[in-house]
Structure 1
Amino acid sequence: MSIRPLVILPDARLREISAPVGTITGDVRKLAADMLETMYDAPGVGLAGIQIGEPVRIVTIDTSKEKEDRKPLVLLDPEIVWSSEETRPYEEGCLSIPDYYAEVIRPDRVRVRFRTLDGETVEQEADGLLATCLQHEIDHLNGVLFIDHLSKLKRDRVMKKFAKAAKREAA
C-alpha cells in the first residue's frame, strides 16, 4: 500500500468520466488499498479513483468517527439507483479542493448498487453523511465536482482562486 498524490483543482482530469472497473484483478485490489491509505492520510471520508489520477469507477468511503473502529467501504462501479425526493443541506468539502467548504443540497436518502472486491453485487440504502458522501464520490466518477452544485458566482470564485494558486505554484 502507498499514499498517492491527490489531483487538485483546476486539474482537467477531475472532469473526466471514469471507465468501468471490469475484471477484479490484483491491480484493482492494490488501487483500493492505496486509495484507502491515501484517504485516511489526507484525512478524508471519501475518495474516488480520479482523485489520485486513476480514471476508473472505484470509490472508497469511511464515515466512522475518529475514536471508532474504521469501517472502510470499497465500491466498484457504483451507481445510484434511487434517490429520495426529500433533500437536506450538508456542508461539503473535497480533498481535490482543499480548505474550501460549502453547503450543498442533495437527496436525503439514496440506494446504491455496486460490486465488492469479492465480485458480489450489492444494493445498499443510505442516509445522512453516508448518503451525502456516496453522492459526492459518484459525482466524481462522472466528472462532477461538489462546487457544480453551487451558484455560478460561487463556483467561478472557487475556480478563479484555484487557477491563481496553480499558476503561482507553476511559476
Structure 2
Amino acid sequence: MSASTTKANTLSLHYLGDRTLRKPCKRISKVDQSIRDLAKQMVQTMYAEQGIGLAAPQVGVNKQMLVVDCDHDNSATPPLVLINPQIETYSPELVTGEEGCLSIPGVFLDVVRPKAITVKYKDEQGRPKKIKASDLLARVIQHESDHLNGILFVDRVPNDLILTEALNKNGFSANAVQTLKAEG
C-alpha cells in the first residue's frame, strides 16, 4: 500500500469533546462488503495517523469494530480486525502503562489495566474468533474496546492535576473528561 493510496482512503478523526465519542456503539448484525471496506479504511487511517489502534467511533461510525496493529513494520503480522469484540476474562495482575489516543493528540498519560485478557470477536469474514492477549496488545484492545462503550483513556487517569495540565497544554478541556469511579 503506497503512502498516496493511504492518505486518499483515510477517514476523518473525531476529537475529545465530540459527542460521537461518548455514544455506546451498536453491534454489527451482518459482516458484509461494506463492513470489510470500513475495516480497510480504518486500517489505512490508523497507519496514516501513525496509531496502533483505532475504534469505529473515532471516525464517526457508531459500530462495534476496532482495528489493531502493534507491529506494523512487520508484514508477517497483519492488522487485527475485531468486530463485536467482547472481553471475556481479565487477568488479576494489573500493570501501569502510558497511553495516548488519536482522538486526543499530544496527551500521553499512565493508565492501570489488566496485563492479559481473553477476547472473542468476529473477523472481517464474519468468522468467530477468540484470542488471548497480553502486554501491549491487551492494553490496545482494552483501550479501543473502551471507545465502543463511550469511554476514553483520560476517563481512567486518577490524577486530576496531571490530567488537567496535559489536556490544557494540548488545547483540550478537562470538562470533556468523564472520570470513572475506581472499582472494588
On whether the aligned pair clears a TM of 0.5, the verdict is: yes
Report sequence identity in percent. Answer: 34
Range that drifts further, 6-15 or 153-162: 153-162
Secondary structure of the residue aligned to 1:99 is coil
Contact in 2 for aligned 1:48/1:140 (Cα 8 Å): yes
Matched, 1:162 2:169: no
| AA at the equivalent of 1:130 | L
Structure 1 gaps of 5+ residues are: 165-171
Distance 2:173 2:90 in 1: 34
Q: Which digits, 9 at most, give the CA deviation of each residue in 1:36-64, with x for residues without a partner?
A: 00000001000000000001000000011
Corresponding position of 1:7? 14
Q: Which digits, 9 at most, give the CA deviation of each residue in 1:92-134, with x for residues without a partner?
A: 0000000110011100000000001111111100001000000
| AA at the equivalent of 2:83 | L
TM-score, normalised by the number of residues in structure 2: 0.83
Distance 2:144 2:138 in 1: 10
Distance 1:73 1:122 in 2: 11
Corresponding position of 1:169? none
Secondary structure of the residue aligned to 2:107 is strand
| 1:151 positional shift | 2.1
Matched, 1:33 2:40: yes
| AA at the equivalent of 1:86 | E
Contact in 2 for aligned 1:10/1:159 (Cα 8 Å): no
Distance 1:139 1:156 in 2: 21
Distance 2:123 2:28 in 1: 11
Distance 1:120 1:20 in 2: 15
Distance 1:2 1:117 in 2: 18
Deviating above 6 A after TM superposition, structure 1's stretches of 4 or more consecutive aligned residues are none
| 1:25 positional shift | 1.6
Contact in 1 for aligned 2:72/2:78 (Cα 8 Å): no
Secondary structure of the residue aligned to 1:88 is strand
* Selected match of 1:103 from 104, 110, 120: 110
| 1:10 positional shift | 1.2
| 1:163 positional shift | 3.7
Range that drifts further, 34-43 or 154-163: 154-163
Contact in 1 for aligned 2:107/2:167 (Cα 8 Å): no
TM-score, normalised by the number of residues in structure 1: 0.89
Name the count of aligned residue pairs: 163
Matched, 1:141 2:148: yes
